[in-house]
Amino acid sequence: MRNLYYIAIEGPIGVGKTSLARLLAEHLSARLVLEEFEENPFLADFYNDPERFAFQTQLFFLLQRYQQQQDLRQVDMFHNLLVTDYMFVKDRLFASLNLNEKEINLYDTVANLLERNVIKPDLVIYLQADTDTLMKHIAKRGRSFERDMSYDYINALNQVYSEYFFPYQDTPLVIINTNNIDFVNNPKDLEEVINVIRQPVSGTKFFNPSSIS
């Protein structure tokens, strides 16, 4: 993984970001940093009453992830490969979907100040899946606070991610369509994904397997 020190994995809820991050860290002997969503005290309230608790939820995530990103600055990035299951910008994507106009203006003011001190990844992996697949994954893992998550919300979030990454040029990007692969349970699928990631990337690279191995 020459000249690759920081890999960030992104994608909508249920697409397999954390699973792939764990597997990559294991196979590439990398340091693993996961988002700590369970620590957000507003998250369950948000899913029960999104309009009332959206701003508190997003602000907590923003500050929590900023602190985590600052901790990453202390890592010797040039001697240890680092894999994370999120990008700092993900909070903006969720905020754009969940906050009203006044809230998003205040959120952006805070986020713009914080982003100046955030390290950009050397490679971003964007995992794609259709909304039906995401809903199946969410139901299968059975998290209590995700139980009442609506199809419309996940579909809207999926669209936000697509719109963000379609023109993305900030870093090298690998887009992986996961509809027809199972890198968690199928070693051949995981091997294919790792091989794609190992290859040098300039600009955007697409990996679109046609069927499960």
User: 213 Cβ partners below 8 Å, 6+ apart?
Assistant: 181, 186, 188, 189, 192
pLDDT score at 213: 44
| 6-170 homologous superfamily | P-loop containing nucleotide triphosphate hydrolases (3.40.50.300)
pLDDT value of position 44: 86
Mean pLDDT in residue range 141-158: 86
Q: Comparing C-alpha atoms, which of 130, 58, 47, 64 is closest to residue 95?
A: 58
Look up the pTM and report it: 0.90
Evaluate whether 195 touches 189 at the Cβ level (below 8 Å). Answer: no
pLDDT higher than 80, residue 145:
no
Catalytic site residues?
85
pLDDT band at 147 (very low <50, low <70, confident <90, very high): confident
What residues does each domain of the chain span?
A: 6-170
- At residue 212, does pLDDT exceed 50? no
